Structure 1
Amino acid sequence: MLSLAVAVPALAACFAEPSPHNAVKEFLVGWQTGDYTAAARRTDGDPKQVGQALENVKLQLDAASIRFSLQGVTTEGDNADARFHVEVDLGDNNPLWLYDNDLPLHLVDGEWKVRWSPSVIHPELRAGQRFAVDATSEGRQPILDRNGDPLQEEATLYVAGVVPATLKDRETLCEQLFQLTGFAQDRLLSRIVSAPPQSFVPLVTFGRAKYAQLRDRLDGISGLQIEKKQQPVAPAQPVEIIGKVGAITAETEQQLGGPQRAGDTLGQGGLQKAYQDQLTGSTGTRVITYDLKSGEQVAELARWEGRLNTSVKTTLDKGVQRAADAAAGGSSVPSLLVAVKASTGDILAVGSRQLHQERDALAGRFPPGTAFSLVAADGLLEAGVDPGQKVPCPPDRTVGGARFVQTSAITGTAPTLTTDFAHGCVTALAALARRVDAETLSRSAGRFGIGADWTLPLRSYSGSVPVARTDAAKARVITGQTVRVSPLSMALAAAAVASGTWHPPTLVTSPSAPDLTAEVAPVSPPKPITLDSASLEKLRSMMRSGVTTGAATAAATPGPPVYGVVSTVTYTDKKRQRTLSWFVGWQGDTAIAVLTETPTPTVPAQMAGQFFRSLPAAS
C-alpha cells in the first residue's frame, strides 16, 4: 500500500507540464481578448468567480482595452513567477494607465496554475475591494473684455446624475434616460458602474428651456437627481463674436471623442467654439480602490491632472460695444459697425442689425465704392497728383471705354481733388486712372493691409484688389467697384491714416492660440507698416474735409475732430442687386467702418456721429 501511495505522485510528476509558459500565455491572452472562461481555467480559483472578477475589471475601469506584455518567467521547483506589464486604455482621451505586476504560479496535479488572488489583477487590490474611476472637471471659464469684465452672464444649467450606491435599478434608469435624451444606454451605464459609489455622477446636462420641457418626465425616473449649476454661458454683445454655449447632446458627444464628458458645456460658435478646450480644460482622472462594505476609498493607484481651464481675454471693450450697439441698433436698415483702436489694431466692438457680426463684419466681401479712395489716394499722391488740383465732377464720364456716373452734383466752383474726395465724386476719381499705374495702386493697397495674410481665431477677410492693367480697370479700382473688402479691413485702413501705421487686427490677447496642444506654432501676424509721412498729412487733411465740407458732415460731433468719408455703391450679389452705403473714418484713437444696406450715405454718417457721441470718455 505504501509503495502505491508513493507511486501516484511519482507518476503525475512524469506527465507534468514541463514549463509554466503555456499557462501564463493562456491566462493573459484569455484576459486580454475577453475569453474570461479560458483565463479562469488556468487558475486555481473557482472558475466562475475568477472569470467574473476579470470581466469586472474592464467594467469598473470603463476601459476601452487592456493589453499585456510578458517580461519574463522564473521557475523554482513546483513554483514559478511571471513578470508582466499592463497597459489600460481608460478612454475619453485619458493617458494610458501603465503598471507592472507578478503572476505567481504553482503545479497542481501536474498542471501549472495561476495562484489566484485579487493581487493578480493589481498588486494593491485585495479581497473585498474593487476599482473605480473618479473623473472631475472644472466649470467653464468666462471670456473677458480688455478690462477683465466678463462678456457673458451666468445662466443656470441643470445636471441630471446619480449617486451609484443609492440606485436600485441602474439598467432601467439608463433605459429611461436614453428614451428621453438619446444618450447611449451602455455609455450611461458604464459611467455609473465605473464611478465611486458615493459620488454624484453627472450624466446629462440641460439648458433652462429643455429642462422645463422634460422636468416632469425626469422627475419620474427613480434614482435620478438634478443639480443646478451656474455657468458663464449667456453671451453679451457682440453675441456672434462671443458665441453661444449649449449643453452636450447625444449627437455632439459622439463627435467630441473627449476630453469632454457628459455634464460639460459646448461652445456653439464664435470664440466659445474656437477656445472650447481652453475654456473647459480637460477632465482630471484618478484610478482608486474602495472597500465594498464601507464604500470608502482605500487607495489611489494613479492620477492624471486635467489640463487647467483658463479664461480668454479679448481686445473688446464693453463701453465701446454699448456705443456700437446703440448706433447699429438704432438704424432702420441692415447695418454693421466695426471699431478698432487706431494705434494698435485691437478690435474694440462689432455692432450689427440684421447682418452677421462674424460672417459679414469680419469676413464679409463687399465693394467699398469711393470709400476706397482713402487707400487709392495714397497711390495717387505717390504718383504726384496734387490734392489742390482742379478735377471736374461731371454727372457722366467714360474712362477707357468704361462708363462712370455721379448721382449727386458738387455745387460751387470747379472742385479740387480734395473736394471730389470729400464728396466721393465717382467721375472725378475715375478720371485720375491715367495718372497712376497698376503697380502703384497695388503697393498702396498693400500698405493698408488689403490682401494681407493676417490670422484671427474667427473667420475674417483682409480684402482683395484685382490687377488693373487698363485705364478702365484702374478707374474701377480707384472708385472701389472691383475691390472687395470687409468692414474690419476698412476700419483698419482708416486706423492706418489716423495713427500713421497700419496694424494687423487683434481680437484675443490671451491665450496666444486657440489650440495650446498644437505641435505647429501659430502663424506670425504680418508686421505693422508705417505710412509715408508726407502723404499722410495730405490724406488726413482730405479725410477731415469729408466731415467739415463733404458728404460726411452728419458724422461731426463735439470733442476731438472727426475724420471720414462716405460712399454709395451698387453691385450684384448672387443674382441680387444690392446697394450699400459706407462711412469710414475716426475720432481720436478710435477708427470705424460703418456699412449699411441703403442708397442714402447720410445714414452711415449719422450712425458714426451717434457712435462717437456715445463713446466712453477714456476711449
Structure 2
Amino acid sequence: MMAGAVVFTVMLSYLVLLPNASNPAVEPQAQAVLLSAPETAEAFLDAVHLGDFTRAAALTDDPAGAAKVLGESTAGMAARGVAFVLDATAPAPDAVEAQQRWTTTWALGSGQSWSYPNAMALVRNGGTWVIRWSPAIVHPQLAPGLRLGYRQTQPGSVAVQDSAGRPMFAWSGTALVPVSEVPLDSAITTAIEAGARPVSAGTGQVVLVDAGGADVASLFGTPPQHPGPATASIDLDVQRAANAAVAGAQKPTLLVAIRPSTGGILAAVGGGSATAQTAFNGLYPPGSTFKVVTANAVLGAGRATPGSTVPCPGVVTVGTRTIRNAGFQLGEVPLRTAFAQSCNTTFAALAGDLPPSALTRSAGEFGLAADFDVPGLRTQTGRVTSADSPEEQAENSIGQGTVQVSPFGLALMSATVARGSAVTPFVVDGVPTEVDQGYQGPSAANVQALRSMMREVVTSGRATALTRYGASGKTGTAQYGDGSTAHGWFTGYRKDVAFAVLVEGAGSATPAVDVSGRFLAGLG
C-alpha cells in the first residue's frame, strides 16, 4: 500500500470466492483477507466513527480495556460526531512493529470543531497486525483512569427560581421549560422569559475527567458561564393558592397579588373564560372599592375623619342624579361605619363638596394614573379623569361614572395602603421596571386612617366572611352596560400580600369575597 492520506470510507472486510474441489468454477467459499497495518488502523477508526466499540476494540491487544475507554470517552463528549483522516504508511515487509498517524476531528455540541493529531502503535501477530492499546489512542493526554468530558449548559439546569428559591423553569437549549407543578398563565410566563438570563455556553470546554468525576485538565475551548438562575417575583405557594381559588369558576374571574414591601408580582390567574393578561390591562368600573380613593380625598381635604359623624340616608340627590344604597339606610354614623357598610349616599354627598379634580389627584396617590413598563408584561392601572359635572363627580365617587381600573390597579392600591408609600411592580429581580409616570403615596396620617377603615370592612362590614383570615380590604359592586347587572370586587391585603379579585357579571361583591376567602385560606 502506498503512503498517503486515507479517509476511512472504504470496505473493511472482504469475501473472496475461491474454487471448490467439487465445483471448482462456481461454488464460493468465504475467506477473510488478512489486514495490513494501515488497513488495521483504518478498520479501527471506521468502527469508532460508527460507534461500534466492540469491533474496534477487537483489533487491539486489550479488547475489554479498549471498549471501556472508547465508550466512556465518547459518551462523555456528547458530540455530534467524530471523524478521522488517516495518513496511511506501509511498514517494511519484514517489520514486526509499525506506527500509523491520523487527525481526529470532533463535532462539538457548541457547533465548533476540535481537531488534533494522533498516532497508534501496531505489532505483527502472525500474518496480521494488532493495535497495541493505550488510552492515548483517544487523545495523546488521556492516561489510564481518565476519560474525556465536555462541559456546556446542560438541559435541565435551573434557569428561573421563584422568590423562595424553588425551581420554576429549566433550560432546554435556549428555551425555558417549566419544572414546577404549579401552572402559570402565559402572561406571567412571557414576562419571566423576558427577564431570564440566558446562560452563555462559551465555545464549550473539553476536559480530562478522573474516576471520581472531577475535571483535572482542560484540553480545548472555554468553559460555560453560569450567572445562576434568575429569580422571579412569583411565589409558587401564592400562585398555587390563587389557582385553587378560581378553580371551577363559572364566570370570568381574575386574581392578581403583589408583595407590598417589594412590588414583586406574586401571582396572577384567570378563571372561567378569563386570562391573567386581562387582570393587568383590562379596565372595569371599580364600584365601591373606589371609596378608598374617595375617602382619601375627603380625609386629605379635612372634610371628615374616620370618627366624624356623617349621614347615610337610603337615597341622596346630587344635581340631577339620584344615588341609592343597596336597600339600606344607617342614619347618622361614623365615617368608618359608612365606609365599612359601603354607604353610597355618604360618599356621593361628601365628594360633591370637593373640587372636580380631587378624585383624580387622590387616585394618583394610589398609582391609578401611573404608567409602568414591566418587561414582557402589558399593564394599565386605571383611568380617572376630572369630573365635568357634580353628577359625574357623585357617580365617580362610588366607582361608577367614567372611572375605570384594572384588577392590577386595585391590587396596587391595596399594596400602597399596606406599604404606606408608592409601590413599583416587577416580575424578575434585577430586571427593572421602567417608570414612565410614577406616583407618591397618600400622607402617613391618611394611610393609618385607611388601614383602620379597611380592617373594619372585614371585622364588622360587608366582608365579615373574611374575618378569620386577618385581612383588610374593601368590597365593590359595579354596574355596567344598561345597569341591569354588575361586577363583583374585593381588594385588600394581609401581611405582605396585597390582592384584588374581580368576578365579571357576579351581580354583587359576594362571589369575589368568596374567591378571596379561598385564596387567603390557601395561603395558610
Give the TM-score band, short-chain normalised: 0.5 to 0.7
Pairing 1:472–2:391 present: yes
Return the index of the structure with the highest Cα Rg: 2
Change (3 A) 1:534 1:149: same
The answer on 1:529 being equivalent to 2:452 is no
Correspondent of 2:192 among 268, 271, 279: 271
Partners of 2:270 and 2:276 within 8 A in 1: no
Q: Which letter maps to 2:461?
A: G
Partner of 1:405: 324
1:345 aligns with 2:263: yes
8 Å CA contact 2:485, 2:507 repeated in 1 = no
* 1:321 maps to 2:220: no
Q: 1:132 to 1:344 in 2, by over 3 A?
A: closer
- Aligned counterpart in structure 1 of residue 465 of structure 2, from 541, 545, 554: 554
**Matches of residues 207-606 of structure 1 in structure 2 within 5 Å?**
232=178, 236-243=182-189, 269-272=190-193, 274-275=194-195, 278-279=197-198, 284=203, 311-329=229-247, 331-386=249-304, 387-410=306-329, 413-457=331-375, 458-481=377-400, 482-510=402-430, 512=431, 523-524=434-435, 529-558=440-469, 561-572=470-481, 579-597=486-504, 598-606=506-514
Instruction: Give deviations 1:289-318, integer Å, cap 9, x for gaps.
Output: xxxxxxxxxxx9x98999867633111111
Structure 2 residues not aligned, in runs of 5+: 1-101, 113-151, 206-218
Q: Post-superposition shift, 1:401?
A: 2.2
C-alpha displacement of 1:448? 0.8
Question: Which amino acid in structure 1 is aligned with residue 251 of structure 2?
Answer: V
**SS at structure 2 position matched to 1:609:** helix
User: Structure 2: how far apart are the matches of 1:499 and 1:593?
Assistant: 16
Deviation at 1:441, TM superposition (A): 2.1
Tell me if structure 2 keeps the 8 A contact 1:337–1:594. yes
Give the Å deviation of 1:413: 4.4
Greater displacement, 361-370 / 426-435: 426-435
Name the one with the larger helix percent: 1
Which residue identity does 2:493 align to in structure 1? Answer: W
Distance 2:451 2:414 in 1: 10
Seen in structure 2, the aligned counterparts of structure 1 residues 414 and 306 have a Cα distance that, compared at 3 Å, is same
Determine if contact 2:248/2:272 at 8 Å carries over to the other structure. Answer: no
Question: C-alpha distance in 1, partners of 2:226/2:274?
Answer: 32
Q: CA deviation at 1:230?
A: 11
- Structure 1 residue 232, shift from structure 2 partner: 4.2
Q: Which residue is 1:145 aligned to?
A: 162
Deviations 1:175-227 (Å, cap 9, x if unpaired)?
Answer: xxxxxxxxxxxxxxxxxxxxxxxxxxx9xx9xxxxxxxxxxxxxxxxxxxxxx
Aligned to 2:239, the other structure's residue is in SS state helix
Q: Is the CA contact 1:135–1:285 (under 8 Å) kept in the aligned structure 2?
A: no
Ranges of 4+ aligned residues in structure 1 off by more than 4 Å: 127-134, 229-235, 280-286, 302-310, 524-528, 575-578
User: 1:416 offset after TM fit, Å?
Assistant: 3.6
The Cα of 1:455 is off from its aligned counterpart by 2.1
**Residues 427 and 508 of structure 1, relative CA distance in 2, 3 Å threshold:** same
User: How far does residue 582 in structure 1 lie from its aligned partner after superposition?
Assistant: 0.6
> How far 1:369 sits from its partner (Å)?
0.8
Instruction: Provide the secondary structure at the position in 2 that maps to 1:408.
Output: coil
Paired with 1:434 and 1:527, the residues of 2 have a C-alpha distance of 28
Give the gaps of 5 or more residues in structure 1. Answer: 1-126, 158-201, 206-228, 244-268, 287-299, 514-521
Q: Who is 1:607 aligned against? A: 515
User: TM-score normalized by structure 2?
Assistant: 0.61
Which AA in structure 2 matches 1:600? S
Q: Secondary structure at the match of 1:582?
A: strand
Equivalent AA in structure 2 for residue 569 of structure 1: A
Name the residue aligned to 1:135: 111
CA drift of 1:432 comes to 1.8
- Kindly provide the CA deviation profile for residues 466-507 of structure 1, in whole angstroms up to 9, marking residues without a partner as x: 122421222222111222211121112112222211212122
Shift of 1:393: 3.7
Specify the code of the residue in structure 2 equivalent to 1:342: P
Distance (whole Å) between structure 1 residues aligned to residue 310 and residue 404 of structure 2: 26
How many pairs were matched up?
Answer: 364
Once the two structures are superposed, residues 241-290 of structure 1 have per-residue CA deviations (whole angstroms, 9 ceiling, x without a partner) of 443xxxxxxxxxxxxxxxxxxxxxxxxx4433x247x346588599xxxx
Indicate conservation of the 8 Å contact 2:473/2:493, yes or no.
Answer: yes
Report the Cα distance in structure 2 between the residues aligned to 1:554 and 1:449, rounded to whole angstroms: 28
What is the CA-CA distance between 1:525 and the residue it aligns to? Answer: 6.9
Task: State TM-score, norm by structure 1.
Answer: 0.52
SS class of match (2:339): helix
**8 Å contact from structure 2 (residues 311, 331) kept in 1:** no
Distance of aligned partners of 1:385 and 1:314 in 2 relative to their CA distance in 1, 3 Å threshold: same
Task: Look up the SS of the partner of 1:407 in the other structure.
Answer: coil
Root-mean-square deviation over aligned CA pairs: 3.7
Which secondary structure does the structure 1 equivalent of 2:327 belong to?
coil
